[in-house]
A and B are shown apart, each in its own frame.
Chain A
Amino acid sequence: GDSVTQMEGPVTLSEEAFLTINCTYTATGYPSLFWYVQYPGEGLQLLLKATKADDKGSNKGFEATYRKETTSFHLEKGSVQVSDSAVYFCALRSAGNQFYFGTGTSLTVIP
């Protein structure tokens, strides 16, 4: 079945460091791919999305490219800030309209 595999955390970075959070997926058909962010005590917010191969989603300095050849959707940011500290979830929406989440990666950015 469809699934999402996300790199284990937690991840701790210094401010202005480069961030990569790996995400790979297994799906039949052509899923849409998403990154959600969850700040402490809050719900999930859509960070970015890509709906077809080679699409690049971007928002707030974060980027992810839908790579069909490697079935990946890695999240990157060139320079993280303390305010980026949160849990990040990779997710896919399958051709059958089901939503699948990765296990989440906790990011802590220290000044």
Chain B
Amino acid sequence: DTEVTQTPKHLVMGMTNKKSLKCEQHMGHRAMYWYKQKAKKPPELMFVYSYEKLSINESVPSRFSPECPNSSLLNLHLHALQPEDSALYLCASSLTGIHGYTFGSGTRLTVV
């Protein structure tokens, strides 16, 4: 298995809703990442988990809450989002060192 699987692929939510994005990999990667990508822009790093511990939080608002229940799973809990949070949310994983990241296909989030 050489993939990062993200669900759902599309999500529309209201500003008062609570939802979660899910990411899963079975490649034995011990680093996992959440990125946010707006249209025609490069991905922006949000969170980094290393060995299931949060190691980087790039000043992300608290309405985004990450969780890493085990080495294969990464969640992003969403609450009270704003329309400007609409974007493609990408999960990635990697081995340490010189390797590239493996990205999931993303969740297209629309906040209404």
Interface size on B, residues (CB 8 A): 22
- Contact between B43 and A101, CB atoms less than 8 A apart: yes
The reply to whether B90 and A44 contact each other, CB–CB distance below 8 Å, is yes
| A103 with B105: CB separation less than 8 A | no
Q: A36-B100, A43-B103, A104-B40 are in contact. List 12 more A-B contacts (CB 8 A).
A: A36-B103, A43-B88, A44-B90, A46-B100, A46-B102, A49-B100, A89-B42, A91-B100, A97-B97, A99-B101, A103-B42, A104-B42
The answer to whether the Cβ of B98 comes within 8 Å of any Cβ in the partner chain is yes
Which of A11-27 touch B at CB < 8 Å? none
Q: Is A74's beta carbon under 8 Å from chain B?
A: no
Please pick, from A44, A97, A103, the residue contacting B41 in the complex, using a CB distance under 8 A. A103
Q: How far is the CA of A43 from the CA of B6 in the complex (A)?
A: 10
Count of A-B residue pairs with CB < 8 Å: 48
Q: Interface of chain B, helix or strand or loop or mixed?
A: loop
Q: Distance (Å) between the CB of B12 and the closest chain A CB?
A: 16
- Chain A, interface size category, equals 20 to 34
- Assess whether A44 is in contact with B103, with CB atoms less than 8 Å apart: yes
Whether A32 and B98, one on each chain, are in contact in the complex, defined by CB atoms closer than 8 angstroms, is yes
Decide: A42 near B42, CB < 8 A? Known: A34-B100, A93-B100, A97-B96.
no
User: Do B41 and A104 touch (CB < 8 A)?
Assistant: yes
Which of A25-82 touch B at CB < 8 Å? 32, 34, 36, 41-46, 49, 51
